[in-house]
Structure 1
Amino acid sequence: MLHATLRLPEPPADTTHRPVAAEGGSTGAAGLPGTGTITANSRHLSRDGAPWFPVMGEYHFSRQDPGQWRTGLERMKQGGITVVSTYVFWNHHEEHQGTFRWTGSRNLRAFVELCAELGLDSVVRIGPWAHGEARNGGFPDWLQALPVNHRSDDPAYLAHVRPFFSQVADQLSGLFHGGGPIVAVQLENELYDQPGHILTLKHMAQELGMAPPLWTATAWGGAQLPAGEVLPLYGGYPEAFWEDAHPGWARGSRKHYFFSHIRDDHSIGADLRPTADSGTAAEMAAPYATCELGGGMPSAYHRRPIIPAADVSALALAKIGSGSVWQGYYMFHGASQGLGELSTLQESQSTGYPNDLPVMSYDFQAPLGEHGQVRESYHRLRAQHLFLAEAGPGLAGMPMTLPDTVPAGLDDAETLRWSVRSDGRAGFIFVNNHQPSTDALGAKEGVQFSVTLADGARLSIPRRPATIAAGAHFVWPFNLPLGHGATLVHTTAQLLTSLPVGPRTCFVFSRTEGVDTEFEVALPADDGGTRQTIQLAVPPGPGPVELPVTDRVSILLIDGDDALRAWKADFAGAPRIILADSLLASAGTLRLDITAPRQEVGIYPPVDNVAAVPGDVEAAVSRLGGGGPLDRFTVEVPAGSLATAGSAELLQEAAGPAPLRTGGVHGRAAAPLDSDYETAALFQLDFTAEQLPETGQNLLRISWTGDAARAFIAGALVSDNYWNGLAWAIDLAPHRDALLRHGLQIRAFPLNPDAPIYVDESIRPGRTTLDIPDVRILHRRHMVLTGR
């Protein structure tokens, strides 16, 4: 038996401390976006005096066509994101000195206003140095070339920062919390040893009219920050393109799959620091907040990791279980670097950086891809975000406690990784038995958790020892108030959300893989004042079941797979749980994304009248019988409406692999030069009007093996890719007319197996290889359901 014991400390004392990095908050008129006072103390954030648990996702407005902003933001919100963070890349706005551009994709104000319209808060990362894998870290070339001390209090440098900040302030005027959605402004990025400069930037921004309730700065790498002036934010990634091309997992990522009091990560940005450790951040002086939990990872030319979805969700859960009170993801929505008027805009060795990034693609393998692709990581995180929307305010005030069995040095694969966040009586057990497959964890048998509460009472969960499956990561509540006098003493199911169902409150849980589901409930006292504890009977077998608790409380239990298809949305006049592959809810309708010829849709509680409104594809909707708590439908479309085959005609063989070069300060493999592509293989892809229907999105998916490739339309670069084993996606919709006239040309190099480039060893070819075995056009379509 694996003994897992933990004693909770006494409930924490008064949590009212001196505010950290807060300007006292601000209050706006009722009904305006961003109303309510926001403050931060040393434990958590508060909004209108109540604990607040933000869930933040990064989305770069200037790296995507503004016509896609609304859908991107709506999908982020549907995925549980409540705060949208974005960089303001200086070189996107002042490429020519003295000429500022704030229109089109560069329209910061329009983007922030759209966040407000959709009910999303925002954090603006104003730099002036941003990084974000941007050219010069976002500095314009003219600024980079000036003989000034960049990123310092050098008056000559600050003289150029002020007009840029002034422009940003004008863009954001009236949009700060109290009259708009901006809850925080981040100053600089990854600046480790100049707290005075960060304070100078804050004062300058304030003088120019920027007035958020919170100021933030990145704190990893032992950053020295001005005490009490900025809220330190942390990060953690499942992999690291910025490491060398050594085999196996990134060296700095393993620690993120443990529960720990350690917040800092000295590996992030280490390739840009002169030393690995430049200071000591006061980690415990502020709440544990994050802004860069890895939603994925891009490919650099020399290092190209693949990020499975469970790597993202397990890391995120480990941070919540470690005490996070602000979940921030980078990136949550991928993007495209785009092209400047004077140069490309990506990080590269030619601009003095250690790594060559793709010229165009900044997909990041994010939960929402470069072209809005909805990925498994999005579904996994959405399930966590449902939990945070339900439990986050209470969780925010709960400190984390580790069991005595935590191994020294975080190197014991046999010890179960778990923690508890609790107020001394109620709380949550967090378990993570997953880390990336190169160092996978095995199943843990005979597990029973023993939690001693602050009053000495002890809980044993589950009632009998169970096996925790390899890769499992979950959270179980204990002593959870269900309302109307009922308390969930313990369960082995994961809480997702709750919703009103007539006079009842229904709590939605999902099963834990391989563990029998238990619910122990303490019922309200009877007339004699006696409180009864019961075990709810859970029927065997899969599928949704509804369990009555009292006449005012019930539980809906769904499978783990269904939890990844579970959405909470207003439909037919009430909040409901929808089981679907992908959807957007808006104005009482459900937009179903059609991802397969047939999918099943579940609705809880059932709706009497559901109607299908044709979208951009004809779909047949049929109601299924069979009983159960959900109303179930099938949605079917012709298979040919979702994908059509394409082909790539080889016009020119490659002269050989790309030339082997190394460069940058770390001597890493360098990407092919523009001139090298003249010797690359040349493929032609032609399209018919039938292959490119005018409605919906047409996404070209190229399955290939090779090294580096670029795609051109009439000689103009539209996309590029460093092969890492994943398919290459190109959105064809914006280029339809040009594609019908000119087609698409691809120039690609074969992969040299001896090149100092990391790709996963399980897929690395043993010989020089260039192959395009499959080309498909995926027609992303939707239909709409209405109900009453």
Structure 2
Amino acid sequence: MSTPTSIVRTVRLHDSRPPLTVPTMSNEIDQHPRVRLNSRWIEIDGAPGIPVTGELHFSRIPSERWEETLRVMVASGLTSVSTYLFWIHHEPERGEISFEGDLDIARFIETAERVGVDVVLRIGPWCHGEVRNGGHPDWVIAAAPAARTNDPDYLALAAGWYAAVAEQVARFCGPDGRVIGIQIENELYDQPDHIATLKQLARDVGLSAPLWTATGWGGALLPAHEVFPLYSGYADGFWAGQGSTWDDSFRDHFRFTHEWDDPGVGGDFREEGAEIVVRAIDPEFPPATCELGGGMATAYHRRPIARGRDIAALANVKIGNGSAWQGFYMFAGGINPADHLQETHATGYPNDLPRFDYDFQAPIGASGRPGASLGLLRDHNAFLSAFGSRLADMYSSLPDDAPVDIHDRESLRWAVRTDGHSGFLFINTHQPHEPLSGSSGVRFRIDLAGEQVTVPDRAIDIPSGLIARWPLRLELAGTRIEWATASVAGVVGGKIPTIVLRAHDGIPARIQLTTGARVISGGEEFIAGEPFDLEPGQSLLVDDALRVLTVDKRQAERLWYLGDDLIDSADAVWREPGGLVLRAEQPPTAHRWNGDRFEPLEVTTSSAPGIQPVDLISLRTAGDPPTRYGEFMGRSSAPSDAQIDELAAVWRVAALDSGAHSPGDRVELVIEWEGDVAQLRRDGVPIRDRFWDGLPWRIDVTHIDPAAELTLHVVPLTAGSEIDLDAEARARVERGGRLCAIHEVTRVVSARWTGTPR
């Protein structure tokens, strides 16, 4: 029963979407049997859906890891993978173009075909991705100073690049191809004619896709009808100015809104003080994203941490806002394929980036290891997989008292996405840096199909930090959940399907089923009437037609939705033609849902994985660093190799070759360290580097010659160093005054484990 002080939150459902229309794209031009577009949603295999795309840069990942990485991405709920083709990676010298080895885009797409995942190609010619010159080879800059315009010299070079790309990938385009999207250029704001010209050049050489896209943020002017505008959203950004606070453009992504433009991303390429006109979405296309921050890179001057809950909250808000397509950048991190290919102050870019590292704190790290955010995003993506066909035609409604001011941290942030009959209630009280307040004594009332649905039946307190999506009159397998105060995750098939609900810390998980439903729980049977509590681990059988499994948030982040299989595993697990495969350095503990309970999954391996400490031999102590090595545009510059040689503490890595490993194993160095900049050198030459942000450093050393001399070089960081750090990292510096240490190095060998076939 509601308390006298309770507040009933209401919303007027209002479909503010443009009229349903059908663009020529994917309908009259570039038709595709599996992908079709209208002004409200993307149709997949003949039905509305919400595709989920993850960014992976194939040229930054060893080709031997492509298939496993793609399979883990699919196991994490992705339906497509997007990738840049960095021109400078393939043709650093004019006329010497390569698509061999780790640059083999055709073999990458063939791998995607084998895995069963679609591909979005981002073909540039200018891509960025923190690559030098935005991906333009140096010789292009020299030969065509008016690049990124319709300058004839530049267009001739661009046409040649597109022709080379088409020679590799055109056979994967067209009605039967895995290429479902092609992005033209990137973050180009004021050249719509140029984007249209580039699209025609691409079509002229045989490239085609049902979806032609362009980045629409930053007030971009795009050619009408030619490209599908896609948007972004990051929790924080390395590109912000030195000493700046958390920018409003980041705050904006943690409130429910129907505005999609983002004036912050790419702002480091604009002249200071340049006005950005925030534009409304093009009514020809649905709102969609290609760059929701799956993590964040570190620049030398600014090193933010993208925590898993930050990413999950942002993704949940975008779906509540009405997103028709979720694209995460990055989803799998990587390593630059050669030295000096990154953006730096020397290239005129405002930010110094690491020379090799592009881990991006991604859900799958640069060494192939699942990151801290992967479980949260699997939970999110499982929801979209199960209910995307319904969400696609559900409109978003915001309450009248929705916070308009992004600095308002007191008002409750919530929205409803519905078709007028059923839907989902989205709540967000999570925000990094500036926590949002909770709310006391809350109930929600939504008018659906002429009936008022009140959630829950008694007032509750909404805690700070909540990321929720609650069902409203959700019908499944002939039954109906009127409402629940636990978030909907995924659905697992089988003779009797199972829906997974995620309980929230601090909120009683309650459910209201249709009155009269027959419920069996723990061997006891009752008839549904009043709402009742759910407990994590509890399984309900409703009308012999639907299982309702409740899990806590910790178990939710361990679940893998693999078709009819639901696997509880802290280690990565995916499906291959021969069955289930896991990767772990120790015998994994995994369980499979049998439709009633979790049973142990038997796993075997023919390898000998494990963890071993690595000895270090100190060769030199560190010198005293300056507060700044230099600056450009007001931002601190990274130390040069000469400065690193002068100041870094140096250790030799001993006995890296101890212990054998088998084909299919992965060998990583895991380094717990503190300092400013670190390098791993092989025989004196830098091969990996890292800017310290407080996180461990994982390096794939599977194929590094064990006979080579490996040394670790760490430059000190002091309290006076002019570096913007995450608050936790900054506190460590302030406590220590001067950081320069390697606390532990371990050699981790992970193996493939095969699950017992069904």
Give the TM-score category using the shorter length: over 0.9
Over 3 Å counting, the alpha-carbon distance change for 1:249 and 1:148 in structure 2 is closer
- 2:138 matched residue in structure 1: 141
Over 3 Å counting, the alpha-carbon distance change for 1:383 and 1:84 in structure 2 is same
Over 3 Å counting, the alpha-carbon distance change for 1:177 and 1:465 in structure 2 is farther
CA distance in 2 between counterparts of 1:608 and 1:305 reads 38
CA distance in 1 between counterparts of 2:100 and 2:656 reads 34
Mapping for residues 453-492 of structure 1, pairs under 5 Å: 453=448, 455-484=449-478, 486-492=479-485
Report the more deviating stretch, 720-729 or 409-418: 409-418
How far is the alpha carbon of 1:787 from its aligned partner? 3.6
Over 3 Å counting, the alpha-carbon distance change for 1:732 and 1:179 in structure 2 is same
Scaled by the length of structure 1, the TM-score of the pair is 0.89
Equivalent pairs, count: 738
- 1:623 matched residue in structure 2: none
Scaled by the length of structure 2, the TM-score of the pair is 0.92
CA distance in 1 between counterparts of 2:500 and 2:603 reads 29
- 2:670 matched residue in structure 1: 701
Q: Does 1:728 align with 2:697?
A: yes
Q: Does 1:513 align with 2:494?
A: no
Q: Does 1:445 align with 2:435?
A: no
Mapping for residues 59-138 of structure 1, pairs under 5 Å: 59-138=56-135
Over 3 Å counting, the alpha-carbon distance change for 1:706 and 1:11 in structure 2 is closer
Q: Does 1:615 align with 2:616?
A: no
Q: 1:277 aligns with which of 266, 275, 278?
A: 275
How far is the alpha carbon of 1:290 from its aligned partner? 0.4
Structure 1 gaps, min length 5 = 28-34, 527-531, 619-640
Over 3 Å counting, the alpha-carbon distance change for 1:259 and 1:750 in structure 2 is same
- 2:743 matched residue in structure 1: 773
How far is the alpha carbon of 1:7 from its aligned partner? 3.4
Secondary structure, aligned partner of 1:584:
strand
Deviations 1:135-161 (A, max 9, x none): 100000111123531100001111111
| 8 Å contact kept, 2:592–2:599 | no
The one-letter amino acid of 2:350's match is P
| 8 Å contact kept, 1:699–1:729 | yes
Report the more deviating stretch, 367-376 or 579-588: 579-588
- 1:589 matched residue in structure 2: 579
Q: 1:744 aligns with which of 693, 699, 710?
A: 710
The one-letter amino acid of 1:578's match is I
Mapping for residues 269-348 of structure 1, pairs under 5 Å: 269-274=266-271, 275-285=273-283, 286-339=285-338, 344-348=340-344
Secondary structure, aligned partner of 2:528:
strand
CA distance in 2 between counterparts of 1:113 and 1:500 reads 29
Over 3 Å counting, the alpha-carbon distance change for 1:589 and 1:400 in structure 2 is same
| 8 Å contact kept, 1:236–1:256 | yes
Q: Report percent identity of matched pairs.
A: 36
Over 3 Å counting, the alpha-carbon distance change for 1:606 and 1:518 in structure 2 is closer
Secondary structure, aligned partner of 2:583:
strand
Q: 2:197 aligns with which of 189, 193, 200?
A: 200
Mapping for residues 96-245 of structure 1, pairs under 5 Å: 96-245=93-242
Secondary structure, aligned partner of 1:447:
strand
Over 3 Å counting, the alpha-carbon distance change for 1:536 and 1:332 in structure 2 is farther
| 8 Å contact kept, 1:610–1:785 | no
- 1:786 matched residue in structure 2: 756
How far is the alpha carbon of 1:248 from its aligned partner? 4.9
How far is the alpha carbon of 1:60 from its aligned partner? 0.3
Q: 1:552 aligns with which of 545, 554, 571?
A: 545
How far is the alpha carbon of 1:565 from its aligned partner? 1.1
Q: Does 1:662 align with 2:630?
A: yes
Over 3 Å counting, the alpha-carbon distance change for 1:673 and 1:692 in structure 2 is farther
Secondary structure, aligned partner of 2:386:
helix
CA distance in 1 between counterparts of 2:24 and 2:316 reads 25
* Alignment RMSD: 2.5
How far is the alpha carbon of 1:657 from its aligned partner? 1.5
Report the more deviating stretch, 401-410 or 52-61: 401-410
CA distance in 1 between counterparts of 2:371 and 2:567 reads 18
Over 3 Å counting, the alpha-carbon distance change for 1:646 and 1:457 in structure 2 is same
How far is the alpha carbon of 1:280 from its aligned partner? 4.9
Secondary structure, aligned partner of 2:724:
coil
Q: 1:642 aligns with which of 585, 610, 623?
A: 610
CA distance in 1 between counterparts of 2:560 and 2:399 reads 34
- 2:641 matched residue in structure 1: 674
| 8 Å contact kept, 1:11–1:424 | no
Secondary structure, aligned partner of 2:446:
strand
How far is the alpha carbon of 1:271 from its aligned partner? 0.7
Q: Does 1:685 align with 2:682?
A: no
CA distance in 2 between counterparts of 1:356 and 1:432 reads 34
CA distance in 2 between counterparts of 1:362 and 1:294 reads 14
| 8 Å contact kept, 1:224–1:279 | no
| 8 Å contact kept, 1:420–1:428 | yes
CA distance in 1 between counterparts of 2:480 and 2:93 reads 63
- 1:638 matched residue in structure 2: none
How far is the alpha carbon of 1:172 from its aligned partner? 1.2
CA distance in 2 between counterparts of 1:239 and 1:383 reads 22
How far is the alpha carbon of 1:477 from its aligned partner? 1.2
Over 3 Å counting, the alpha-carbon distance change for 1:712 and 1:196 in structure 2 is same
| 8 Å contact kept, 1:656–1:749 | no
How far is the alpha carbon of 1:428 from its aligned partner? 0.6
How far is the alpha carbon of 1:601 from its aligned partner? 2.5
| 8 Å contact kept, 1:358–1:722 | yes
Deviations 1:290-342 (A, max 9, x none): 000001101101001112111111111111111111000000000101216xx
CA distance in 1 between counterparts of 2:475 and 2:535 reads 27
Over 3 Å counting, the alpha-carbon distance change for 1:461 and 1:177 in structure 2 is farther
- 1:636 matched residue in structure 2: none
CA distance in 2 between counterparts of 1:533 and 1:551 reads 13
Structure 2 gaps, min length 5 = 519-525
Secondary structure, aligned partner of 1:687:
coil
CA distance in 2 between counterparts of 1:608 and 1:762 reads 38
The one-letter amino acid of 2:692's match is W
Deviations 1:48-83 (A, max 9, x none): 542121100000011111011011111111111111
Report the more deviating stretch, 143-152 or 106-115: 143-152
- 2:565 matched residue in structure 1: 576
How far is the alpha carbon of 1:410 from its aligned partner? 2.3
CA distance in 1 between counterparts of 2:406 and 2:17 reads 30
CA distance in 1 between counterparts of 2:309 and 2:330 reads 16
The one-letter amino acid of 1:382's match is R
Q: Does 1:401 align with 2:436?
A: no
Over 3 Å counting, the alpha-carbon distance change for 1:608 and 1:353 in structure 2 is closer
Deviations 1:67-110 (A, max 9, x none): 11011111111111111000010111111112211111111111
Secondary structure, aligned partner of 1:554:
strand
- 1:384 matched residue in structure 2: 380
- 1:601 matched residue in structure 2: 591
Secondary structure, aligned partner of 1:72:
helix
Deviations 1:603-630 (A, max 9, x none): 3336999874531557xxxxxxxxxxxx
CA distance in 1 between counterparts of 2:168 and 2:360 reads 28
| 8 Å contact kept, 1:607–1:787 | no
How far is the alpha carbon of 1:648 from its aligned partner? 2.5
| 8 Å contact kept, 1:578–1:604 | no
| 8 Å contact kept, 2:607–2:661 | no
| 8 Å contact kept, 1:699–1:730 | yes
- 2:557 matched residue in structure 1: 564
